[in-house]
Amino acid sequence: MPYRFGTLAIHAGQQPDPSTGAIMTPIYQTSTYVQEAPGRHKGHEYARVTNPTRSALEGNLAALERAEHAVCFSSGVAGIDAILKGLRPGDHVIATNDLYGGTYRLFRQVFEPFGLRFSFVDMRDLAAVEAALTPSTRLLWIETPTNPLLRLLDIRALADLARSRGIDVAVDNTFATPYLQQPLTLGADLVLHSATKYIGGHSDLIGGVVCTSNEAWHEKLRFQVKSTGAVPGPMDCFLMLRGTKTLHLRMERHCANARRVADFLAQHPKVGRVHYPGLPSDPGHELARRQMRDFGGMVSFTLADDRIEKAVAVMTSTRVFALAESLGGVESLIEHPASMTHGSIPAEARRAAGLDDSLIRLSVGVEDVEDLLEDLDQALERV
């Protein structure tokens, strides 16, 4: 019997330390490993290539994503970078037009000058994705729920469209986490996480991971790790491994709190639009029910009076929600995508994708929800 998620989260990839019996995987703070004779070693030669703490984390994350392999990186963007280096100049990528600003910057400002080509389309519209296909399209880049508008993209439908044409599919699963959604089981080839967010879960590290069951991709990713060296240190791997042990517990509370926050905002007279797939009125609700276990901890909204100054007044008036970039930690955060996380996307491109300059994004933490609601209420009272 395969174990269920919570059991895997706590045990997968980890054995008691063979030399001491320590139940927790040690932080192997070492750069190299002594060999008995040249080439005779215990499976590790040099820590850029492998480290036992990192290997345990990789075993754990692969199990959570139902993948054969997980390859860890020093950040989420380093993982995206490694995937794109698996392509060749001239290759074409179709990406969702509502995505993490750093991903957009990496695509447009780092990889376009090296000859990769990108189209950004609203992937809710399969016909628009088909219209953007070219003979050199090699990869679909999907984020769902999207950032920051929390739109739902149909992973299975997009994977079916891609597979029939020999195109690979990568899903940035940072917002959903493997607890809520496992893209490989829906037909994707690659899953990327910024482990900085929910996987780490405590806003105390930067990390990334790419999961795949495709052997050719796994080989390419291992080659990137060895050749370009964007690896996480053992201490950060230890912290990520500690983080995944409570991923299922944290996500249950993140989701429950976000649902209460979205309901509260939806009925508040000073609030305009609320984006949260858990709201029955949300356009992505039905798809989210099919594709996800629950609706996640991210909520975004506009004010009824959508002047930017008003949004800024709310963001600077909260006391529990801290004004900061990032997401997925135990503490609640509030931010302004247009000037913070998505500032590297040009204003015209943001507006074309429907990202309003007055949009406010919340990462709903795991505090007592009444304190979160009271905090938002007093901040909204000020505008």
Ligand X SMILES: *Cc1c(COP(=O)(O)O)cnc(C)c1O
Q: Interacting stretch for ligand X, rule CB under 6 A, among 155-163, 179-187, 189-197, 225-233?
A: 189-197
Query: Running DSSP on this structure, what letter comes out for residue 161?
Result: H
Helix/strand/coil for 170:
strand
- Interatomic CA distance for residues 307 and 286, integer angstroms: 32
Residue length of the chain: 383
CB atoms within 10 A of CB 279: 20
Q: Which of 347, 261, 360 is closest to 309 using CA atoms?
A: 360
- Positions in 92-131 near ligand X (CB under 6 A): 100, 102-103
Q: If binding is defined by CB under 6 A, does position 196 make contact with ligand X?
A: yes
Applying the rule CB under 6 A, the residues between 134 and 173 that interact with ligand X are 143, 147, 172
Torsion, Cα of 39, 42, 46, 48 (10° steps): 130
| Per-residue tokens: 363 | 């990462």
Positions marked active-site? 48, 100, 172, 197
Instruction: Determine which residue in the list 51, 53, 60, 75 makes contact with ligand X, applying CB under 6 A.
Output: 75
Q: Does 197 bind ligand X (CB under 6 A)?
A: yes
Cβ atoms of 350 and 342 closer than 8 Å: yes
Q: Does residue 208 bind ligand X (CB under 6 A)?
A: yes
Using rule CB under 6 A, residue 343 touches ligand X: no
Token pair for residue 153? 């993209």
72/372 with CB nearer ligand X: 72
- Measured from the CB of residue 279, what is the shortest distance to ligand X in angstroms? 21
What is the end-to-end Cα distance of the chain in Å, rounded?
55
Dihedral sign for Cα atoms in the order 101, 66, 240, 297: positive
Nearer to ligand X, 53 or 103 (CB): 103
When asked if residue 206 is in the footprint of ligand X (CB under 6 A), the reply is yes
Nearest approach in angstroms of CB 26 to ligand X is 25
Of 197 and 250, the one with the shorter C-beta distance to ligand X is 197
Which one of 50, 96, 144, 174 is in contact with ligand X (CB under 6 A)? 174
Chain residues that interact with ligand X, rule: CB under 6 A: 75-77, 100, 102-103, 143, 147, 172, 174-175, 194, 196-197, 206, 208
